Structure 1
Amino acid sequence: MIKRFVQVGLATLVLAAFAAGADEAANIRAALAKVLPDYKPTSVKATPMKGLYEVEIGPQVMFVTGDGRYLIDGAIVDLKTRENIAESAQSRARLRAVDQIGEDNMIVFNAPSSQHTVTVFTDIDCGYCRKLHEQMDGYADEGISVRYLFYPRTGADTPSFDKAVSVWCADDRQEAMTRAKAGAQLPKKSCTNPVTKHMELGEMMGIRGTPAIILDNGEMVPGYVEPKRLATLLDQSRANN
């Protein structure tokens, strides 16, 4: 949660920002601005629980009590429906953040008869990322379209980062991605590219390894998942929503 939400002193700062009779949402924004000046809440809204507010910052979600004293980081379960309200909110936030990137800023491998779309944070030099890409025909056979975002784990200005930029700047990005993941040395190219934005989004989502798969319901699944298993997960997530 955004560098664990700068934990030291949070409760004191949030509480100090609240005044009797003030609008909770506006004051939550003001309080968070003191603790996280570089992050502006996307939304602040009431939850079904009286006095508890859902705060969305990009792909991250947190819950703050209306009196400003408590921050809740963890599962919040509706015992009647068995829904994890916190995870559902987190999934929606992930989807909105990914949608803001837009498919024009992704490399997309569409299945001919697409039933599901997953978004995958990938590193060209990651072994399991290469294994996933080798199975692209298998995902297509299962009706799964794959959208790639770059997440070179070694960071900016490294060979993996440069490879990602070269793939993006190639005349045929899909072909370049396939060749790069097969170990081919691509001509080094440079152009306006979204690689840094992809990485920033991945960091905010708390990604620690690749591949990281965002299902079409917003759930995040770490690691490689073979095509039939992924199709099963996607069908189950759709049935549960």
Structure 2
Amino acid sequence: MTRRFQIGAVSLAMAAAALLAVGTTVSASEAQTSRAALAKVLPNEKPTSVQPTPIDGLFQVEIGPQVMYMTGDGRYLIDGAIVDLETRENLAEKAQNEARQRAIEAMGEDQMIVFEAPDAEHEITVFTDIDCGYCRKLHQQVEGYAEEGISVRYLFYPRSGIDTPSYEKAVSVWCADDQHQAMTEAKNGNSIPSKTCDNPVQRHMELGELMGIRGTPAIILENGQLVPGFVEPKRLAQVLEQ
């Protein structure tokens, strides 16, 4: 069971019950009432926003990079596709992508290791594991991405967890005097000096968990779309241009 489902289907169901308990009615104050009720039952998962949707009585609830929907009376929770049949647009997917991208940008580039393309036209954010085979394959193509005008921004996601060899390698890369060289050496399977310092590796992992990341590499495009797995540079450039 993913963390996203746990928050969405269990905790928000509790929030819905709380809304019923306070006796909300369909009114202009529904969003404010929903936020207050959610804050009571989810003290550690404060909603980023609660806002109306094009569907009367349905509200979009964001918790960081996660998006769910709740009826104004607090009775029903919707966690899935919402498609406008006139435009064929998946409103839920669009909202999810936007929330994901806001969460990425809130992390800040100063908390990432960035391999910047000289003439960058696009950028991707990649959750990576030093010891992941396809993560290493992606990094071996980092110059290829640069040639396609794609900058690569790394966030660490050691799948083995905190205080494991992969986690310690990620910390050592972050704390290295030359992060780029250390990243490349580690990705090539070479030993790098073990170092510790104040680092964002655990925060990277927490963000990845909120996004439901389960495998690496996990690529986040500029619009917040999640692309799992390795995509070779020319193909990724085509995707970004679409």
Rate the CA distance shift 1:80–1:167 in 2: closer, same or farther, 3 A. Answer: same
Percent of matched pairs sharing the same residue: 67
1:15 counterpart residue number = 20
Structure 1-normalised TM-score?
Answer: 0.93
Distance 2:146 2:54 in 1: 40
1:104 counterpart residue number = 110
- State the one-letter code of the partner of 1:146: V
The DSSP-based 3-state class of the residue aligned with 1:218 is coil
Quick check: 1:17–1:27 contact (8 Å CA) kept in 2? no
Structure 2-normalised TM-score?
Answer: 0.93
The DSSP-based 3-state class of the residue aligned with 2:153 is strand
Quick check: 1:18–1:68 contact (8 Å CA) kept in 2? no
- Give yes or no for the alignment of 1:176 onto 2:182: yes
What CA deviation, in whole Å up to 9, does each residue of 1:66-90 have, x standing for no partner? 1111111100011111110000000
Shift of 1:6: 4.7
1:140 counterpart residue number = 146
- Give yes or no for the alignment of 1:79 onto 2:82: no
Quick check: 1:6–1:35 contact (8 Å CA) kept in 2? no
What CA deviation, in whole Å up to 9, does each residue of 1:103-152 have, x standing for no partner? 00000011111111100000000000000000011111111110000000
Shift of 1:94: 0.6
What CA deviation, in whole Å up to 9, does each residue of 1:9-38 have, x standing for no partner? 534334223434582112212332344221
Distance 1:61 1:33 in 2: 16
Quick check: 2:8–2:68 contact (8 Å CA) kept in 1? no
Distance 2:71 2:230 in 1: 38
Distance 1:233 1:111 in 2: 17
1:5 counterpart residue number = 8
Rate the CA distance shift 1:160–1:17 in 2: closer, same or farther, 3 A. Answer: farther
2:199 counterpart residue number = 193
What CA deviation, in whole Å up to 9, does each residue of 1:50-79 have, x standing for no partner? 111111110001111111111111000111
Quick check: 1:106–1:147 contact (8 Å CA) kept in 2? yes
The size of the alignment, in residue pairs, is: 236
1:109-120 to 2 correspondences below 5 Å: 109-120=115-126
- State the one-letter code of the partner of 2:219: I
CA root-mean-square deviation? 1.5
Rate the CA distance shift 1:233–1:16 in 2: closer, same or farther, 3 A. Answer: same
Runs of 4 or more, structure 1, over 3 Å off, are 8-11
Shift of 1:2: 5.0
